[in-house]
Amino acid sequence: MNTAIIQQPDIFSALPNNSLSDYFYHAGEILAEESVVLGAAIRDVLQKGEQINNKNIILSLVQTLETTHDIVQADVIRKTLEIVVGHTMDDI
């Protein structure tokens, strides 16, 4: 698990939302599983050739949540989704 955490900050540098990336940088081991899920969502958005923004990350997380059958993993995805939504500015 530590290897995943060490690799995550590189992927978080793609986030345009400094508040979200800082939140995960400073959380350390507390959000280790959520960090992995967020990193996977960012990679998913990049693989689709889409812009990295909270909207696309949220869509990726929702799609992942809809397809998972693992209850524990679903909880981690939901928590990650809550964090991303909490760090998303409302449209002005």
DSSP characters over 14-44: T-S-HHHHHHHHHHGGGGHHHHHHHHHHHHH
Threshold 0.85, pTM exceeds: no
CB 53 within 8 A of CB 16: yes
For domain 2-86, give its CATH number from 3.10.20.30, 1.10.8.10, 3.30.230.10, 1.20.5.5260.
1.20.5.5260
CB 6 within 8 A of CB 38: no
| 10-residue mean pLDDT series, the chain (92 residues) | 47 79 87 94 94 94 97 98 88 46
pLDDT at 16: 80
Half-sphere exposure of 58 (CA within 13 A, CB side): 12
Q: Where are the domains of the chain?
A: 2-86
